[in-house]
């Protein structure tokens, strides 16, 4: 099993006063930082893993080219995204564009847990895929396997030691914003 420590983010230097063995005050400097695995890396790894497990639908151009108007309409209805035009004039191309959009869009969820452990604040952010039958195969299609359980396993995104204050936790927002962009 591979262990990935990630990259250091938001290092913050602090000073503390300590009393040494002969009773004199001594100033010590130390740095506290967090570690993160870039969101792009997590996204790529999750997609590769889910494709390897056979959970992801075929999203190739060839897949959509062979679908008839009726098949496109049925599939859009299955995923709850068929929009009937008032004049009934939806073209096959419009259905293909709509289906491609829904079947090629994957959703991720970021879960945050700010906790205190032994009087030290910590923040943990994890990422996992959100099951969507438009993007992923259904349990029925995979012979009863629980697809949702297979893909919604959290991946560590960011872990840091920081005080349990909003100011300290905001130190990690810039790096998160970079990842999202």
- Judge contact between 128 and 108, C-beta under 8 A: yes
Tell me, letter by letter, the H, E, C secondary structure of 35-75: EECCHHHHHHHHHHHHHHCCCECCCCHHHHHCCCHHHHHHH
Cα 45 off chain centre by? 11
Alpha-carbon distances of 155 from 42, 111, 152, rounded to whole Å: 8, 10, 9
How does residue 92 score in pLDDT terms, banded at 50, 70 and 90? Answer: very high
Residue 133 has what pLDDT? 94
40-49, 59-68, 117-126: the lowest-pLDDT one: 117-126
Strand 120-130 relative to strand 155-161, pairing = antiparallel
Residue 6 has what pLDDT? 81
d(CA 49, CA 106): 14
Instruction: Give percent above pLDDT 90 in the chain.
Output: 52
Counting Cβ atoms within 10 Å, is residue 119 exposed (0-12), middle (13-18) or buried (19+)?
exposed
- pLDDT of 89 above 70: yes
- pLDDT of 163 above 80: no
Domain regions of the chain by residue span: 34-57+106-180, 60-103
Residue 118 has what pLDDT? 66
Residue 2 has what pLDDT? 66
- pLDDT of 78 above 90: yes
Residue 119 has what pLDDT? 67
Give per-residue pLDDT as tens, 98-117. Answer: 999 999 999 999 998 877 66
Give per-residue pLDDT as tens, 138-151. Answer: 999 999 999 999 99
Q: Please list the residues that pair with 86 across neighbouring strands.
A: none
Using the structure block, give the residue that is written with the tokens 């503390």. 16
Residue 43 has what pLDDT? 95
What tokens appear for 160 in the block? 């840091």
Question: Residue 43: CA atoms inside 13 Å, Cβ hemisphere, count?
Answer: 11
Buried residues in 6-32 as b, exposed as e (16+ CB within 10 A): eeebbeeeeeeeeeeeeeeeeeeeeeb
Sheet with 7-19, edge to edge strand ranges: 7-19, 25-36, 155-161, 120-130, 107-117
How does residue 32 score in pLDDT terms, banded at 50, 70 and 90? Answer: confident
What tokens appear for 92 in the block? 């096959």
């Amino acid at each position: 099993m591979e262990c990935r420590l990630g990259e250091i983010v938001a290092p913050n230097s602090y000073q503390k006063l300590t009393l040494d063995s002969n009773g004199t005050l001594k100033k010590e400097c130390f740095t506290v930082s967090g570690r993160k695995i870039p969101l792009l890396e997590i996204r790529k790894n999750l997609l590769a893993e889910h494709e390897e497990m056979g959970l992801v639908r075929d999203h190739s151009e060839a897949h959509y080219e062979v679908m008839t108007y009726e098949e496109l309409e049925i599939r859009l209805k299955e995923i709850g995204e068929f929009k009937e035009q008032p004049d009934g004039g939806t073209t096959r191309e419009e259905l293909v564009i709509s289906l491609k959009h829904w079947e090629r869009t994957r959703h991720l969820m970021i879960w945050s847990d700010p906790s205190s452990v032994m009087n030290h604040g910590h923040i943990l952010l994890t990422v996992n895929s959100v099951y969507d039958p438009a993007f992923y195969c259904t349990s029925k299609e995979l012979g009863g396997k629980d697809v949702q359980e297979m893909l919604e396993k959290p991946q560590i995104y960011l872990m840091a030691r920081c005080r349990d204050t909003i100011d300290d936790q905001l130190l990690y927002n810039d790096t998160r914003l970079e990842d999202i962009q």
